[in-house]
């Protein structure tokens, strides 16, 4: 029996965020180059996007490249960018077939022109889709995002468009890259690392965290179902007592 049958469809997380980690170690285990791991990581992306869409998940955010990842060896960065362009180009028809809308969050200006162009087109071509929202975090980091938000808030205050007294949590949320999306209820990290690595620090305030030793290129729908079941076994208290939550 698949773990899928045990999932309570009435209590799915609306938004799942994933730190896709372990491509390099996966390749190394096989005596291959790191890029071989990234190439296979794309297979997992396909499988998980399909799995999330089938379940009826509304938002899926995938951490694909952090602002810190720019400091990796040049050949790896270039290889990843090429893989990105190629993958987007190939995947747009499938996204449209499955009613999936693509979004990107991150410091997009850092990306090579070819990648930006490919992304813009894919975002445009999938903009009418109303099923799963697939949010790719590219050249993203939470501290970069918060820094940008603070700058924009300060500018709007200076221009008299925003009064300091009016700044509250809803307003702050509107200045983040994720303004259009609800906060993730579930965050998954693969590869046995127990850290957040500058991912959605503000948005994950009350997310349930699921860590698995599975390396990203081995992660498949069954692993996603397991993570969702783990999420559904948690009691989400939001600061209240267990008794309060139950009544």
Q: Which residues are catalytic?
A: 21, 69
- 144 sits near ligand IPE (criterion: CB under 6 A): no
Give which of Mg ion, ligand IPE, none residue 132 binds (C-beta under 5 to 8 Å, depending on kind).
Answer: none
Whole-angstrom distance, CA of residue 182 vs CA of residue 161: 25
- In terms of C-beta density within 10 A (0-12 exposed, 13-18 middle, 19 or more buried), how is residue 243 classed? exposed
Give which of Mg ion, ligand IPE, none residue 25 binds (C-beta under 5 to 8 Å, depending on kind).
Answer: ligand IPE
| φ and ψ of 131, to 5 deg | -90, -130
Contact range with ligand IPE by CB under 6 A, out of 63-71, 126-134, 162-170, 239-247: 63-71
- In terms of C-beta density within 10 A (0-12 exposed, 13-18 middle, 19 or more buried), how is residue 33 classed? middle
- 145 sits near Mg ion (criterion: CB under 5 A): no
| φ and ψ of 46, to 5 deg | -55, -50
Whole-angstrom distance, CA of residue 19 vs CA of residue 98: 23
- 65 sits near ligand IPE (criterion: CB under 6 A): yes
When binding is defined by CB under 5 A, the residue of 17, 19, 20, 21 that contacts Mg ion is 21
Give which of ligand IPE, Mg ion, none residue 197 binds (C-beta under 5 to 8 Å, depending on kind).
Answer: ligand IPE
- 64 sits near ligand IPE (criterion: CB under 6 A): yes
Q: Which residues bind ligand IPE (CB under 6 A)?
A: 19-25, 63-66, 69, 80, 191, 193, 195, 197, 216
């Amino acid at each position: 029996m698949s773990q899928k049958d045990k999932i309570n469809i009435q209590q799915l997380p609306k938004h799942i965020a994933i730190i896709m980690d372990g491509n390099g170690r996966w390749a190394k285990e096989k005596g291959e180059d790191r890029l071989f791991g990234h190439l296979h990581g794309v297979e997992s992306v396909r499988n998980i996007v399909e799995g999330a869409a089938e379940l009826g998940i509304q938002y899926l955010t995938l951490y694909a490249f952090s602002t810190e990842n720019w400091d990796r060896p040049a050949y790896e960065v270039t290889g990843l960018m090429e893989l990105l362009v190629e993958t987007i180009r190939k995947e747009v028809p499938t996204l449209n077939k499955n009613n999936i809308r693509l979004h990107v969050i991150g410091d997009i200006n850092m990306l090579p022109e070819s990648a930006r162009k490919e992304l813009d087109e894919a975002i445009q071509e999938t903009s009418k889709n109303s099923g799963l929202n697939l949010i790719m975090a590219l050249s993203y980091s939470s501290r970069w995002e918060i820094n940008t938000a603070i700058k924009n808030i300060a500018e709007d205050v200076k221009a008299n468009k925003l009064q300091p007294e009016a700044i509250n949590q809803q307003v702050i949320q509107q200045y983040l890259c994720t303004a259009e999306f609800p906060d993730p209820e579930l965050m998954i990290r693969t590869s046995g690392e127990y850290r957040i690595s500058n991912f959605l620090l503000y948005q994950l305030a009350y997310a349930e965290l699921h860590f698995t030793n599975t390396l990203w290129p081995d992660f498949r729908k069954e692993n996603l179902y397991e993570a969702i079941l783990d999420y559904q076994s948690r009691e989400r208290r939001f600061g209240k007592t267990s008794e309060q939550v139950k009544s």
